[in-house]
Amino acid sequence: MSLTRRHAAASLGSLPLALAAPGAATAATARRRTTVHLAGDSTAATKQPTAAPETGWGMALPFFLADDRFTVANHAVNGRSSKSFYDEGRLAPILAALRPGDLLLVQFGHNDEKIEDPARGTDPQTTYPQYLRLYLDGARERGAHPVLLTSVERRKFDAAGTAQPTHGAYPDAVRRLARAERVPLLDIQASSIALWQRLGPEVTQDYFNWLEPGESPNYPAGLQDNTHFQPHGAIEVARLVARELAARRVLRPRDLRRLDAAIPDSWITW
């Protein structure tokens, strides 16, 4: 869970004394928490300090969930597809940790699109949904609730300043699978491209990992990354995810918080 110490302390301070005190009450409160597991790629993953300010949206998701009800377990890993994540054995420990009532959010696609790489590439009509079904079936077998996400959109604009889709047939494959399997769909591709369109080409540079030379010691030559986020972008994508969780009735209003609040970038740590 990517909460900072400051955020965690504030959260504990807001609890009633009976719950914040050590002992049976605290243990009972912890047992009532639902774990939100996240399987995905670098757009969601927790980053190391050497990558800062690159930030995965999974690092910001806890800010929008009631922390007396939920814990976030971010299993997303840089560079993985639905196939390579599974083939490397990364799904197995998630399934082992799932408890009845937990959530499993599944967002792959960026690296599934790399069809030139046999370790990662999948076909949107065949192998992509086949691999995604392994996540859905595994969660349901354990009494947990799988949730499919379309891939967050990259930053790409045409000469007229219109945000362009970049994921080809993969988002539609997720949408079809969600309908066929009757699982909730968070259409983050649609909501994120709409957000980038509202913000426009210049403002979105501050959301993605665009850096001037010398701006960050980790990227002394600067960077123009249209896939990964700076803290502000990760926070806003996590906000989209939280809103979709509410809109699809995966979570109730009391399960969420801060949906319209400003979250300081400084609350993100690596």
Kindly give the pairing relationship between strand 185-186 and strand 145-149.
parallel
> In the 8-state DSSP scheme, what is residue 1?
-
Spatial separation of the C-alpha atoms in residues 90 and 38, rounded to whole Å: 12
User: For residue 187, which of 148, 146, 228, 130 has the smallest C-alpha distance?
Assistant: 148
Please identify which of the residues 14, 88, 141, 212 carries the catalytic annotation: 212
Catalytic: 212?
A: yes
Catalytic: 202?
A: no
Determine contact, residues 76/46, Cβ cutoff 8 Å.
yes
Please identify which of the residues 7, 145, 167, 228 carries the catalytic annotation: 228
The torsion angles phi and psi of 9, rounded to 5 degrees, stand at: -65, -40
Catalytic: 75?
A: no
- Alpha-carbon torsion 21, 255, 28, 263, what sign? negative
The enclosing H or E element of 186 equals strand 185-186
- Alpha-carbon torsion 128, 131, 133, 139, what sign? negative
Please identify which of the residues 2, 7, 37, 42 carries the catalytic annotation: 42
Q: Which residues are catalytic?
A: 42, 212, 228
